[in-house]
Amino acid sequence: MSYAAKTVFAFGCYILALGASLVLFPNPVLGLLRMPPTTEVWIRVAGLVLLNLGANDLVASRSELRPYMTWSVPLRALVIVFFGTFVLVGLARPGLWLLGILDLAGALWTWSALRRESLGQWSAPGGARMSYPAKTVFVFGCLTVALAAGFVLIPNRVLGLLLLPPTMEVWIRVAGVPMLVLGASALIAGRSELRPYITWSVPLRASGFLVLGAFVLAGLTQPGLWILGVINLAGALWTWSALRSGSQRPAAHAA
């Protein structure tokens, strides 16, 4: 791996650890951040999104996906802006800013590595139009960005559409921030034809259906949350079908 890829890989490991901790035992993590405990499911949802984001970072770094690494810098740097805003308007305690600072530090580390190696942004292969699998990931990215924006800006209206009770806690907005980053990453991967990302997005998105279903079955939330899991699963199957049809096409031509 290049130095720039190593910075993204290390950040992905951190995000995976944080995401797993928030899914499995969120309140001890909140205690470390000097934030009050929560009984709502949204902190675990934020952890699930972080798990997907961290796995994407590992795939991108191991596969040297330069467009992903380059765009990850401003996307990660934006996190401190959102978290800082939540703190300044009184939605969260200052401990949340620590996570934003860590994101900013990771973004600056990757930026420094890219600058040192004089790596430019790569264009899509041959300037060609997006392939069908890439389009499926791009559409998923658009949906994710729209949903994340709803979580950040008008969370209770979104919850109403999902037949879920309203919330007064900040964690649904916090979950929306990594969702914005995840959606933007999918847009970049689709536009740039980052095939390892597109391929690995299938099992990662499908796992969202399983984990959200587990939250429902465990009584942590109401069944409406499973709607998001169904959308994830449908998108994963769509991309899988597109990848499968694309892999069969050369064989058909050869025949």
Integer Cα distance of 104 and 203 in angstroms: 29
> What does the pLDDT look like over 229-248, one tens digit per residue?
898 899 999 999 998 887 65
Angle between helices 42-62 and 66-88 (to 10 degrees): 150
pLDDT at residue 253 greater than cutoff 90: no
Confidence of residue 126 (pLDDT cuts 50, 70, 90): very low
Averaged pLDDT, 17-22: 90
Rg for the chain, CA atoms, rounded: 18
Angle between helices 3-24 and 66-88 (to 10 degrees): 50
> What does the pLDDT look like over 164-197, one tens digit per residue?
889 888 888 888 888 888 898 998 898 889 989 9
- Angle 71-73-76 from CA coordinates, rounded to 5°: 110
Percent of the chain topping pLDDT 70: 91
pLDDT at residue 79 greater than cutoff 60: yes
Percent of the chain topping pLDDT 90: 24
Confidence of residue 82 (pLDDT cuts 50, 70, 90): very high
Residue (of 67, 71, 55, 72) closest to 18 by Cα position: 55
pLDDT at residue 128 greater than cutoff 70: no
Q: Which residue has the higher pLDDT, 248 or 250?
A: 248
pLDDT score recorded for residue 85: 92
Q: Which residue has the higher pLDDT, 187 or 140?
A: 187
| Residue 120 per-residue DSSP state | P
pLDDT score recorded for residue 247: 67
CB of 100 within 8 A of CB of 36?
no
- Provide the mean pLDDT of the chain: 85
pLDDT score recorded for residue 104: 93
Integer Cα distance of 81 and 179 in angstroms: 15
Confidence of residue 32 (pLDDT cuts 50, 70, 90): confident
Give whole-number Cα distances, 233 to 138, 228, 248, in Å. Answer: 15, 9, 22
Question: In sequence order, which residues have a C-beta less than 8 Å from that of residue 60 and are 6 or more positions away?
Answer: 5, 8, 12, 68, 69, 72, 194, 196, 197
pLDDT at residue 120 greater than cutoff 50: no
Q: Which residue has the higher pLDDT, 67 or 162?
A: 67
> What does the pLDDT look like over 94-107, one tens digit per residue?
888 888 999 999 99
- Residue-range domain boundaries for the chain: 3-250
> What does the pLDDT look like over 200-217, one tens digit per residue?
999 988 888 898 888 889
Averaged pLDDT, 47-59: 90
